[in-house]
């Protein structure tokens, strides 16, 4: 099986994105969103939903930057494991950061369902290591998340 195509998956799967007209004259709006990637699209969606008139602009085609090349894998993970983040910012802030990320995934799940976006599929994730010495780090992370109220399970080998 060929795993490397040399082109972004979403571009191959869906073709070139829709071409929007260029801004050719002065306009008025409540909010100008600069950047037509996923963040710009979600920001525009949220603002227009509450009645804010938005214009989204991008120097290139909408959705053709890093969003197009994204794995589209969404997790509530941060770059720093919870048990380490607690040491850096304190338990309350660290746990809240992870909770907010989890809530964001829930909101995106609801949005995908409401938009009938068929490509979205919610999955569980798995932390693992082939190195025995990393076993303690995984145990610490499991314990930190369990104590914070996250639904986690520790598997043994």
- Asked whether residue 155 is domain-assigned, the answer is no
33 bridge partner residues: 56
Check whether residue 65 and residue 88 sit in a common domain: no
Task: Say whether both 10 and 49 belong to one domain.
Answer: yes
CA gap 154, 141 in Å, rounded: 10
Tell whether 42 and 92 lie within a shared domain.
no
Q: What is the Cα–Cα distance from 152 to 110, expressed in whole angstroms?
A: 22
Q: Is residue 111 part of a domain?
A: yes
User: Strands 54-57 and 31-34, how do they pair?
Assistant: parallel
Residues 8 and 53 in one domain: yes
Residue 62 forms part of a structural domain:
yes
Distances in whole angstroms, Cα of residue 10 to Cα of each of 30, 42, 51, 145: 31, 18, 30, 33
Name the pLDDT band for 128 (thresholds 50, 70, 90). Answer: confident
156 located within any domain: no
Q: What is the pLDDT of residue 5?
A: 62
Read out DSSP for the chain? -----SS-HHHHHH-SPPPPPPP-S----SEEEE--SHHHHHHHHHHHHTT--EEEE-SS-TT-STTTT------S--SS-HHHHHHHH-HHHHHHHHHHHHHHHHHHHHHHHHTT-TT----------S-GGGHHHHHHHHHHHHHTT--------
Q: Could you tell me if 68 and 87 lie in one domain?
A: no
In a domain, 157, yes or no: no
Range of the domain at 117: 82-147
* Predicted confidence (pLDDT) per residue in 72-119, tens digit: 788 888 999 999 999 999 999 999 999 999 999 999 999 999 999 888
Do 47 and 96 fall into the same domain? no
Q: Which of 23, 38, 72 is the last residue of a domain?
A: 72
Whether the CB-CB separation of 66 and 37 falls below 8 Å is answered with yes
Whether 6 and 58 map to the same domain: the answer is yes
Q: Are 45 and 67 in the same domain? A: yes
Q: Are 133 and 148 in contact (CB under 8 A)?
A: no
Q: Are residues 1 and 68 in the same domain?
A: yes
Rounded-to-integer distance, Cα 29 and Cα 152, Å: 45
How many domains does the chain fold into? Answer: 2
Average pLDDT over residues 137-146: 95
Statement to judge: residues 1 and 61 lie in one domain: yes
Mean pLDDT taken over the chain? 88
Residue 41 falls inside a structural domain: yes
Residues 44 and 104 both lie in one domain: no
**Total-model pTM:** 0.77
Residue 16 pLDDT: 67
Looking at the fold, whether 57 and 6 belong to one and the same domain comes out as yes
């Amino acid at each position: 099986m060929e795993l490397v195509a040399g082109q972004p998956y979403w571009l191959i799967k869906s073709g070139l994105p829709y071409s929007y007209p260029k801004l050719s004259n002065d306009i008025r709006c409540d909010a100008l969103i600069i950047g037509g990637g996923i963040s710009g699209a979600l920001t525009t969606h949220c603002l227009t939903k509450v009645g804010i008139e938005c214009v989204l602009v991008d120097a290139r085609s909408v959705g053709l930057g890093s969003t197009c090349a994204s794995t589209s894998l969404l997790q509530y993970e941060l770059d720093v494991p919870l048990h380490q983040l607690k040491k850096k910012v304190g338990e309350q802030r660290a746990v809240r950061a992870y909770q907010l990320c989890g809530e964001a995934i829930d909101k995106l799940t609801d949005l995908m369902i409401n938009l009938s976006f068929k490509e979205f599929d919610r999955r569980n994730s798995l932390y693992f290591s082939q190195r025995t010495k990393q076993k303690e780090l995984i145990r610490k992370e499991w314990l930190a998340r369990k104590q914070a109220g996250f639904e986690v399970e520790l598997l043994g080998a």
